[in-house]
Amino acid sequence: MLILKGHTAPVRCVAYSPDGRYLASGGDDHTVIVWDLAEGKKRSTLKGHSDCVRAVAFTCQEGRLATGGWDSKLCVWTLPARPTKRQPLASFTFSGWVWTLAYAPDGWALAAGLGTGEIALYPRGPKSNRQTLTGHQWPVTSLVFSPNSRVLASGGQDRTIRLWRAEFGQPIAALTGHTDWVRCVAFAPDGHTLASGDDAGTIRLWDAEGRREIGSLLGHGGAVRQVAFAPDGRTLLSASWDGTIRTWDVAGRCERGVVDWKIGRVNCVAFAPDGMTAATGGHDHSVVIWDVD
């Protein structure tokens, strides 16, 4: 287990770079830290936000990192080649807070979920013309693209999950069933299964193509803040405000294990690209990386 300390406030989001060499974390201290995982230490501190950083997302295109926060800004950075403080490559300001971000796996489309209930979609990257997707009635708190980059799934405080055609921003369907705010969504690597978590502590599994619920996972005693599939699709991790991270057998719909790293409320979790390790962040300002097996 590796504990990374550098934030001075709760850590809200984490993301691995596509090659697994770096981890980005954002927090209530208004900063984003890029960690060199081989050396187990801070690589760079990115200071472009004036409020809590709520989302970080890497793309495979040119080593770019997108960050979003409650200052209503979306910043795009070039992954630093050496330890240094950097200024954002580009910055966009919206009329509502940025709650969540997602880059398409093919490295092009970028989406931002806003406090207005809208989704800002850049189909060909931040330099392309922005599309505004409307449908959610409350803040959009989670976004994820399907593995083939063709579908965008969004979850919101209106308790719904919505599916969109990523290339054109057209609505496909709305999935209902959650009884509280949807906090997180994640596609399985096969693109068929979608997982979502809510403030009631429930994780739901969906057939994304059939647009129907196919199961639920129960065990958390607090809000489920993030879910992440392993690269093989057989394992799901969930982070909760009950202070635990749970490991689930997706096919068996059962819990494999539970860990408590003593970091308070757990806000985020991410699998490394190779599936061997995972990272999480919590209210005690720490980032914890551990061997999943």
The number of distinct structural domains making up the chain is: 1
Tokens standing for residue 111: 């989406």
Distance between CA atoms of 211 and 254, rounded to whole angstroms?
22
Query: In this structure, are residues 50 and 84 in contact, taking their beta carbons and an 8 Å threshold?
Result: no
In a domain, 208, yes or no: no
Quote the percentage of the chain above a pLDDT of 70.
Answer: 98
**CATH number (domain holding residue 15):** 2.40.10
In a domain, 52, yes or no: yes
Please tell me the distance from the alpha carbon of residue 224 to that of residue 181, in angstroms, as a whole number: 10
Show the tokens assigned to 46. Answer: 């990115």
What would the pLDDT profile of 168-216 be if each residue is shown by its tens digit? 899 999 999 999 999 999 999 999 999 999 999 999 999 999 999 999 9
- Within a domain: residue 15? yes
pLDDT band at 124 (very low <50, low <70, confident <90, very high): confident
Q: Print the domain residue range for 24.
A: 1-92
Is residue 18 domain-resident? yes
For CA atoms 131, 197, 201, 262, give the dihedral sign. Answer: negative
The answer to whether residue 260 scores a pLDDT higher than 60 is yes
Q: Quick: pLDDT tens for 38-54.
A: 999 999 999 999 999 99
Is residue 32 in some structural domain?
Answer: yes
CA distance readout (Å), 173 to 37, 101, 130, 206: 39, 20, 22, 12
Residue 217 lies in a domain: no
**Residue 102 is assigned to a structural domain of this protein:** no
Q: What is the DSSP string of 40-105?
A: TEEEEEE---SS-EEEEEE-SSTTEEEEEETTSEEEEEEPPSSS--B--SEEEE-SS-EEEEEE-T
Prediction pTM value: 0.95
